[in-house]
Each structure stands twice: as C-alpha cells, then as structure tokens.
C-alpha cells in the first residue's frame, strides 16, 4: 500500500516537472525569432504595393481637385439696364462722360448706348468708351440743321438729343428680341445719378417712375402716389401735359418697347412734350410703377454744368499763344 502511494507521488512529481518544463519552453519560444522571413517578405511586399496604389490615387485626386475650380454660388440673372445717352462735342463733354461712365461702372448688368450728335464718331468718345471697360454700343447721328441749337440760343428753344435717343431705340429693335429681359433708361450726360436709382428701375414691368431733383424751376418734381398707384404729378410748369415728367424720371421695359415698334420721340413735339410723345403710346398713368419709396426719394438730379469761360484762352489765341491743342481736355 505504501509502495503504491510512493509510486503515485513520483508520478505526480514527474508530471509537475514535465508540465513546468513544457510551460517554460513555450514561454521562451514566444520571444524567439522564428524562421518566418518568407512569410514576412510576402506581407511587406503586399503592404508596399498597397501604399503605392494609395499614393497614386491621392495624386490623381489632387490633380482632379486642381482642375475643378472651387464652386461659386450661382449669380442671380439680372435684367440688363440699357442706358441711352445722347452727347455732343463741347468743352465740358469729356468731364461729363468721365463722371457718368464712372457712375455706370458701379452698376452690374448694364449696357451703355452712347449716341453722338455728330456726322462721324469722335476719337474722344471712342477712346473713352474703350477704356471704360463697360459693355457699350457707340452710335452717331447728327441732329438736322433746322432742329439744331445755334450758338447763343436758349437751350429750351429746341428739343435736344431727340434723333440720338431714337437711333438707340432703333438699335435695340434691330439687335434684341422680345424674349430678352431688360430695361431702358434715358440718361443725359450732365445729370447726377445715385446708384440706388439703378436698383429701383431694374425690375420694371412696363414703365417705372420716380422724382427728379432740381428741375422745372423747383427743388424737385415727382409723381403723386396713393395706395401704391400714381394719381397725378407734382409740377408747376405746364401741368396739363399728358406725362409732365423729365426724361430722367422714368424707365421702360425692353419688352414693352419691342412690342411697340413705332414708339419714338417726336422731333417736332411742342416744348415740354417730348417725354409725353413717347410715353403716350406705351402706357397709361394708372399703369405707371412708382419707385424710390413711393416717389418720396430723390435719386437723380437734373444738374447742369456751367459753360466754362475762355476769356484768357481767347486772348492768348489772338497772340498766337493759345494752349496746346494736342492735349485733350
């Protein structure tokens, strides 16, 4: 019996040692390098190839990103404002046109139609338009001699800029279509225009109207508005005219003008009736669209430039000492 116990104990002790040795061997193997270089080589080749493919793709993405410009928010399409300006040669012409063009440069979606009252286009206007960077059309037509103001005539004696404005209307009829969205405004070269005015007129449906400052012998003239509708006009001079308004006080939709192909300014119109001669055929007073805070805001001034005195220049010219005429003023 004792012998049996001893044998069992030895078996247990043996088993214990063998287990410990086995465990130790296993632990030692964990930290040992194994002969798996082949396996590792395959692995690292695979990783390297993948890296190469990824960096290739990244380069492709970079190239494509460079090609695609950063996305800009789409600009709203604005109806074009066609500004029609008659102009004629005189000492202050360049000053007037520089001032007006530099106002217009601030107005988006604008096309300037400049019509010279001259038999041929002058280099002064040609160059000024070219350098303005504006979208423009340059035309010319001479006012018939019988209708032209003579030196010393008071300027109210004859209508001014009539044939020039009509030529611009003809150009629009020849070069634009009924489906084109736009608005037409007659802007003399000597007036003063607020930029807000162009915002007011931009979405004219038929004919929009607003006050004009420093005109008609008054601080301002303006359409009178009740409940959003034009009911009459605040003016002192010939108030019974169909449309007692200055040229600068209204804008017409391009579509309305194109839909009425014969509408034009009448060269023979009685004094003060030029604006009416065109508007009468296009709208009624009830249809007018009041702008500029229900016609309570003055955004355009009928300014006029003083004729410069040339006393000294003329005296010098008589002595053959006049200023250098190759210098443009």
Interface positions with ligand UDP (CB under 6 A):
85-88, 117, 143, 148-149, 155, 160-161, 164, 188-190, 304
Element of type H or E holding 310: none
**Among this protein's residues, is 275 annotated catalytic?**
yes
Q: Work out what residue 87 binds among ligand UDP, Mn ion, none; the CB cut-off runs from 5 to 8 Å by kind.
A: ligand UDP
Could you say which of Mn ion, ligand UDP, none residue 88 binds, taking C-beta under 5 to 8 angstroms by partner kind?
ligand UDP
Q: Using CB under 5 A, which of the segments 30-38, 146-154, 184-192, 253-261 binds Mn ion?
A: 184-192
DSSP string, 140-180: E-PPPGGGSPPTT--TTSS--SHHHHHHHHHHHHHH--TT-
Q: How far apart are CA 41 and CA 57, in angstroms?
A: 24
- Nearest Cα residue to 239 out of 186, 276, 265: 276
Decide which of Mn ion, ligand UDP, none touches 289; Cβ closer than 5 to 8 Å per partner kind.
none
* Catalytically annotated residue among 127, 275, 289, 306: 275
| Nearest CB to Mn ion, comparing residues 168 and 256 | 168
Of the pair 190, 221, the CB lying nearest Mn ion is at 190
Whole-Å CA distances, 268 to 93, 147, 302: 26, 9, 23
Tell me how far the alpha carbon of residue 25 is from its chain's centroid.
86
From the CA atom positions of the chain, what is the Rg in Å? 42
The nearest distance, CB 86 to ligand UDP, in angstroms, is 4
Is residue 117 within the footprint of Mn ion (CB under 5 A)? no
Question: Which residue, 139 or 285, is less far from ligand UDP as judged by CB?
Answer: 139
Q: Is 51 annotated as a binding residue?
A: no
- Interface residue with Mn ion, options 116, 117, 188, 246 (CB under 5 A): 188
Tell me whether residue 87 or residue 204 sits nearer to ligand UDP (CB atom).
87
Whether 163 and 141 have beta carbons less than 8 Å apart is answered as yes
Tokens of 33: 């390098």
Is residue 100 within 8 Å of residue 188, measured between CB atoms? Answer: no
State yes or no: residue 246 binds Mn ion (CB under 5 A): no
Using CB under 5 A as the criterion, which residues of the chain lie in contact with Mn ion when the complex forms? 188, 190
Q: What residues are annotated to the active site?
A: 275
């Amino acid at each position: 019996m004792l012998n049996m116990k001893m044998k069992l104990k030895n078996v247990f002790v043996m088993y214990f040692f063998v287990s410990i040795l086995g465990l130790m061997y296993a632990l030692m193997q964990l930290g040992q390098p194994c002969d798996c270089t082949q396996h590792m080589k395959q692995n690292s080749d695979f990783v390297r190839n993948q890296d190469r493919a990824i960096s290739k793709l990244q380069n492709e993405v970079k190239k494509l990103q460079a090609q695609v410009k950063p996305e800009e928010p789409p600009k709203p399409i604005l109806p074009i404002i066609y500004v029609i300006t008659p102009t004629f040669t005189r000492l202050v012409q360049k000053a007037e046109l520089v001032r007006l063009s530099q106002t217009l440069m601030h107005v988006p979606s604008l096309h300037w139609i400049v019509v010279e009252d001259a038999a041929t286009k002058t280099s002064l206007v040609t160059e000024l338009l070219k350098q303005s960077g504006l979208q423009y059309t340059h035309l010319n037509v001479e006012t018939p001699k019988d209708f032209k103001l003579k030196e010393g005539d008071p300027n109210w004696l004859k209508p001014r800029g009539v044939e020039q404005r009509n030529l611009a209307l003809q150009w629009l009829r020849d070069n634009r279509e009924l489906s084109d969205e736009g608005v037409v405004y007659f802007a003399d070269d000597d007036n003063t225009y607020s930029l807000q005015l162009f915002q007011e007129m931009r979405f004219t449906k038929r004919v929009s109207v607003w006050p004009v400052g420093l005109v008609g012998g008054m601080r301002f003239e303006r359409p009178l508005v009740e409940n959003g509708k034009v009911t009459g006009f605040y003016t002192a001079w010939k108030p019974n005219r169909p449309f007692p308004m200055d040229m600068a006080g209204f804008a017409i939709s391009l579509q309305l003008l194109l839909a009425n192909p014969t509408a034009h300014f009448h060269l023979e119109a009685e004094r003060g009736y030029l604006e009416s001669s065109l508007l009468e055929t296009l709208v009624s007073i009830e249809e007018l669209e009041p702008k500029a805070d229900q016609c309570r805001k003055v955004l355009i001034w009928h300014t006029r430039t003083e004729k410069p005195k040339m006393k000294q220049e003329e005296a010098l010219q008589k002595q053959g000492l006049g200023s250098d005429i190759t210098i443009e003023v």
